[in-house]
Amino acid sequence: MSGLSNSLASRKSPILCYVTDRRSLPNTESAELISKIDAVASAGADWVQIREKDLPARELAALTHEALLRITARADGRSQATRILVNDRVDVALAERAGGVHLGENSLPVDEVLRLVETRSLRGTFLVGVSCHSIEGAKSAAAGGANYLFFGPVCATPSKTSLGPPQGLERLAEVCRAVAIPVLAIGGITLGNASACFAAGAGGVAAIRLFQDSPDPGATVRALRQHSGTR
């Protein structure tokens, strides 16, 4: 396990990750999404994964760039600013100096991505995460050098219907026991079931609607930390 993975695994508070989906916003323009990212980051979310798969590289890069500018401006001396991750597009993440990239099952292999990261001298600061839907996939990603995993869908959710029925908390616990890197539960995560995910061993939660639809992201973040037993 890398030093970066070790620091994540030793965290006492859960990792809270907002996964974006501008198409489910009333206004699908990038400005609306930037405003939402700004609000969730200001509320104290640890990570924001920009997951806008339909955007061309240039538009995705512009969105990532603007999000990073907002985060930097908001940090204002904070020791730990919100980290921006880019879904799948390693080229965009590296070019815009994002905080990491999140890979899907059909993305580049983790070891290949890590080689690209090393050419930019970013090893140890740039996160590489992977979405997994089985214990075998989780073990493979961890062995390949991933810093963290998303596992799901844990609960029923309209955004993950293509992945089949929910995996459930028991399978989540099995995956958390099978790897030494943090596992974030994803898929139908709510304030009502987040505590059960933490109890199953999840190192955090990732969600679209939980953060994006919240009328008060700050209250949502505080509630999640209380559910995990941290403040």
The CATH number of the domain where 11 resides is what? Answer: 3.20.20.70
On whether residue 181 sits in a domain, the answer given is: yes
- CA dist 179 and 172 (Å) reads 11
Q: What is the per-residue pLDDT for 163?
A: 61
Say if residue 158 is preceded by a cis peptide, omega within 30 of 0: no
**Domains held by the chain: number:** 1
Range of the domain at 153: 3-226
DSSP-derived pairing of the beta strands 47-50 and 148-151? unpaired
Q: What is the pTM of this model?
A: 0.93
Q: Is the backbone of residue 26 left (phi > 0), alpha (psi -120 to 50) or beta?
A: alpha
Strands (E), the chain: 15-19, 47-50, 83-87, 100-103, 127-132, 148-151, 183-186, 204-207
* Residue 231 resides in a domain: no
Query: What token pair was written down for 157?
Result: 């959710």
> Residue 10: what pLDDT?
79
Average pLDDT of adjacent 10-residue blocks, the chain of 231 residues: 75 94 91 95 96 96 96 68 96 96 92 93 91 96 96 82 80 98 97 97 97 97 88 57
Yes or no: say if 55 and 63 are a contact pair by the CB < 8 Å rule: yes
Write down the pLDDT at residue 81. 85
Phi, psi for residue 89 in degrees, rounded to 5:
-80, 90
